Structure 1
């Protein structure tokens, strides 16, 4: 089962930036620009063995949102029998997540020795998902757990997030 709620959750946490248009005319002012460094890519940097230890099937990998890349983000997700996980990276600061309407119930957490900000996204799926953002030199790394809506008796998704985080967070960039 693909993560049907992924697009909803990304919409709930993503901050859309406005991009200016270029007239197409080149006007050199003698200045140079420096390209932003590439974001850490969870699809290529998280080994299959770690994903299996986190309780998901590496063969279910999905890049982007429903397979569509998102500008300013690296996104990769995997499904397991009880929950799915998605790892996001972006150059946005933690504060943007805290200011985003719909992101609620923020609290400080420490997972695998790393401090982050756990939160939920309001809406019909609020009780199925749990997110944490960790500050990183590039911006943030976000870990999201989404419980299967088809199963009953599952642990709270934030409990799964901590278990999965113990495996994956040590792999995240500083």
Structure 2
């Protein structure tokens, strides 16, 4: 039996894979023994660090407004230290058997178009911001996860919804992009520009 905590960690792992695929496609360097390997590194994300951390800077009021349980935070992918390519946290939803993830990264929003780990990249208005929706291209059926990307001055943000695997038969739509959009609209006023 999967626990909510274990499943939330799975959400974060899927998000990291998608983000890393984007970073690798963009030519970002790797790390060798704690030092960056800059051979062949492009200028995309070079030396940059995700400045906004949803794990510590997203207020509980924002989470409650979006129907997330602030006490059920999963920080498995919240990189330690003050420099990170991305920051991701996930919370259990109070509205159903799914998890709500929020992340920030140094990559620009448009780089999702070039990410081979996701598909269905579609422009979508989220309140006053131009957003994108997309979902994992991993062959899972039904597709239980959908992301909403939003621009940010120093990179981009995303909100994702991941329906619990054990409850996949109750999934109202596959992929759950309308649900992700609803949560992104509620969280957007609390997210940085």
TM, length-normalised to structure 2: 0.73
Cα deviations across residues 36-67 of structure 1 (Å, max 9, x unaligned)? 576111122222122122222111112242x6
Which residue of 164, 170, 178 corresponds with 1:159? Answer: 178
The structure number with the bigger radius of gyration is 1
Q: Which has the higher helix share?
A: 2
Give the alignment of 1:52-67 within 5 angstroms.
52-65=64-77
Cα shift at 1:119: 0.7
Which residue of 80, 88, 93 corresponds with 2:103? Answer: 88
1:142 aligns to what?
158
Aligned equivalents of 1:5 and 1:40: distance in 2?
20
2:86 aligns to what?
73
Give the alignment of 1:1-174 within 5 angstroms.
1-2=4-5, 3=8, 4-14=10-20, 15-16=23-24, 17-19=28-30, 39-65=51-77, 69=80, 71-80=84-93, 81-125=96-140, 127-151=143-167, 152-156=169-173, 157-174=176-193
Secondary structure of the residue aligned to 1:117 is: strand
RMSD across aligned positions (CA): 2.6
Note if contact 2:50-2:104 (Cα within 8 Å) is conserved in structure 1: no
Cα shift at 1:132: 1.5
Cα shift at 1:171: 1.1
TM, length-normalised to structure 1: 0.80
Aligned equivalents of 1:166 and 1:6: distance in 2?
21
Gaps of 5+ in 2: 36-46
1:29 aligns to what?
none
Note if contact 1:85-1:144 (Cα within 8 Å) is conserved in structure 2: yes
